[in-house]
Structure 1
Amino acid sequence: MRTEARVNPVMPRGSTADKPFELVVTPENAGWGYSGLRVLDLPIGTRATFRTGEDEMLVLPLSGGCDVTCDDERMTLTGRRSVFSRVTDFAYVPRDATVTVRAPSGGRFALPSARATRRLPFRYGPAQEVPVELRGAGQASRQVNNFCTPETFECDRLIACEVLTPGGNWSSYPPHKHDEASDGESSLEEIYYFEVAPAPSGTPGSAYQRVYGHPDRPIDVCSEVRSGDVVLIPYGWHGPSMAAPGYDLYYLNVMAGPGDRAWLIRDDPAHGWVRGLWQHQDMDPRLPMTSATEGRSTKGSRS
């Protein structure tokens, strides 16, 4: 049975706040079955305690570090100044657990989640073990931090990664989909959470996200997005994610679905030919933008 969009796929920052969370996306309010995301914005010295219920989750620092307590165990996450400063460490917390996140110096923390059947152990994900992939070429160059993909970190259903796109580039391109189980394609619900680097003056930046459907499954999104905004992808082709010139773009992808934990996509056949151009183009020299150490690197390679 096909799932059709039942809610507005664009969720502006603060529109789904539910204390202590600034953002709450659940299978229930998204109108689907598996993927979720929450964001905690904690002032200095504060903490938040919550139950995971049926969901496995990650605690992923967006800015700042924190202590994470899961039932009777505790670990410390170093975190980062911002999503544009370095690759971060993270924690995995299982379903049916009580979790406390404490931020001695304050910070923002993403909690990607998925409905889970297995209860896996509370675990630490070191920043140094996160594979950093350079994908595309030319103006389709981007960096992918594969911190929680099927090949890099064990979960029951959850798949998550971070994408960094230099200003003026397109990512999630060519447009692709993963909304039906078939040879070479997974059925996965996806959440895009965005942050946009401000101008040197501090002026907030913006970016754009495109989503479009099949003839028998309509969805039509071409939306401006700003830091803290979310776009839901229940089905359909999605991409490009467009970084405006001068404004670097970050997004967190959260995916889960009913089948095996596999991330298999199919390009829109009208645009898949674009990949053939990449062998003749160089990787954007601004990449990689981050690593497990602080600061921007200018080294790049073709992929």
Structure 2
Amino acid sequence: MHIPPHDNRNRAIVDRDDPLVPLVYFNIVRLKPGEHFDYRTPGYETCVVPATGTVKVEVGGEVFADIGNRGVDVWDGEPEGVYVPSGTGTRITARTATECFVAGAKFDEALSPFAVRSGDLDVVQYGSDETKTHRKIKHILGTRYHDRVGRLLVSELFTVGAGGWSGFPSHKHDTDRLPEETRHDECYNFRFRPDYGSGLQMLQRVDNEPGDAYHIMNRSTVLIDKGYHPCCALPGYEMYYFTILGGQSQRSLKQYFQPTHAAQVQTIPGIMDMVAKFR
């Protein structure tokens, strides 16, 4: 499902118990300097990640100051974030003009809040220019925090260079059938540089049968409930997408590569290092 760019007025773009992707939550909060935003998400753990600007996050009696260091866009600096336990009241206060992503996953247990600073990221780069799959992933809530988070995985994905494919070889994660696959709902929010760039999100629900394709633009949101889902950027444009994964029975993601294209795993340098980081 594609949700076109729009002013959400600080209301959830993907709310709790969404009928299509009930395991994830997503909001974009825009604040002017000095403004604040209060929220609570019962039954969902969340992570506050400034796309731009700097904020203070108050949660569970703790204060995390000066979160975020990016300027004009998501390419201008490294991501930072604050993990918010399930159902815990939270206040985001803008130190500078800010746009904040709030990512969530369904999880009942209340854990402890913590900050993720730019030096704490799990970063992996894989693919190649030759295979048109070169990209970098910055895991905000990645393997490093596996024992401190319930079901939520949060990452930022960047194409390296202009144009090319992401999420290939095509894979899915819509069925709990370990050890082959896990059920993880997924949500993307896209950005392009320059911002008038665009791309394509494919969604093929059955191997070798026609699926759907969505024209994605700057600030498009895409929901992935089931099926194989590669995406690409037009030549000459850089693509970024903020990624939220929420697991049904475990945090670690086990993706199932599309049988028709599974052999392509052998052609893409470093792809298994990428797979290992989604845990």
Q: Secondary structure at the match of 2:18?
A: helix
Supply the distance in 2 between the matched residues of 1:109 and 1:181 (Cα, whole angstroms). Answer: 31
Deviations 1:255-302 (A, max 9, x none): 1122121111111111122222235xx99xxxxxxxxxxxxxxxxxxx
Supply the distance in 1 between the matched residues of 2:258 and 2:224 (Cα, whole angstroms). Answer: 15
Supply the distance in 2 between the matched residues of 1:191 and 1:149 (Cα, whole angstroms). Answer: 16
Residue 21 of structure 2 corresponds to residue 25 of structure 1: no
Amino acid at match of 2:223: L
Aligned residue for 1:244? 234
Supply the distance in 2 between the matched residues of 1:91 and 1:219 (Cα, whole angstroms). Answer: 40
Contact kept, 8 Å, 1:136 with 1:142, in 2: the verdict is yes
Aligned residue for 1:181? 176
Aligned residue for 1:231? 222
Amino acid at match of 2:133: A
Identity %: 22
Supply the distance in 1 between the matched residues of 2:37 and 2:240 (Cα, whole angstroms). Answer: 25
Residue 148 of structure 2 corresponds to residue 128 of structure 1: no
Aligned residue for 1:105? 96
Aligned residue for 2:261? 271
Q: TM-score with structure 1 length normalisation?
A: 0.81
Q: TM-score with structure 2 length normalisation?
A: 0.87
Contact kept, 8 Å, 1:144 with 1:161, in 2: the verdict is yes
1:149 alignment partner, one of 119, 142, 149:
142
Q: Secondary structure at the match of 2:267?
A: helix
Query: Deviation at 1:97?
Result: 1.5
Supply the distance in 2 between the matched residues of 1:219 and 1:193 (Cα, whole angstroms). Answer: 24
In the alignment of these two chains, the number of paired residues is 263
Amino acid at match of 2:117: P
Residue 47 of structure 2 corresponds to residue 58 of structure 1: yes
Correspondence 1:13-92 to 2 at 5 A: 13-14=5-6, 17=8, 19-21=9-11, 23-76=12-65, 77-81=67-71, 82-92=73-83
Residue 106 of structure 2 corresponds to residue 115 of structure 1: yes
Deviations 1:130-170 (A, max 9, x none): 01101222211110112212454531111121110132111
Amino acid at match of 1:91: V
Q: Would the alpha carbon gap of residues 237 and 100 (structure 1) be closer, same or farther in structure 2, given more than 3 Å must change?
A: same
RMSD over aligned CA atoms reads 2.1
Contact kept, 8 Å, 1:33 with 1:257, in 2: the verdict is no
Supply the distance in 2 between the matched residues of 1:196 and 1:124 (Cα, whole angstroms). Answer: 27
Q: Would the alpha carbon gap of residues 65 and 54 (structure 1) be closer, same or farther in structure 2, given more than 3 Å must change?
A: same
Query: Deviation at 1:192?
Result: 1.3
Q: Secondary structure at the match of 1:276?
A: helix
What are structure 2's unaligned runs of at least 5 residues? Answer: 272-279
Q: Secondary structure at the match of 1:25?
A: coil
Moved more, 219-228 or 158-167: 219-228
Q: Would the alpha carbon gap of residues 102 and 236 (structure 1) be closer, same or farther in structure 2, given more than 3 Å must change?
A: same
Q: Would the alpha carbon gap of residues 219 and 87 (structure 1) be closer, same or farther in structure 2, given more than 3 Å must change?
A: farther
Q: Secondary structure at the match of 2:252?
A: coil
Supply the distance in 2 between the matched residues of 1:207 and 1:87 (Cα, whole angstroms). Answer: 24
Contact kept, 8 Å, 1:211 with 1:219, in 2: the verdict is no
What are structure 1's unaligned runs of at least 5 residues? Answer: 1-8, 284-303
Aligned residue for 1:295? none
Supply the distance in 2 between the matched residues of 1:184 and 1:175 (Cα, whole angstroms). Answer: 15
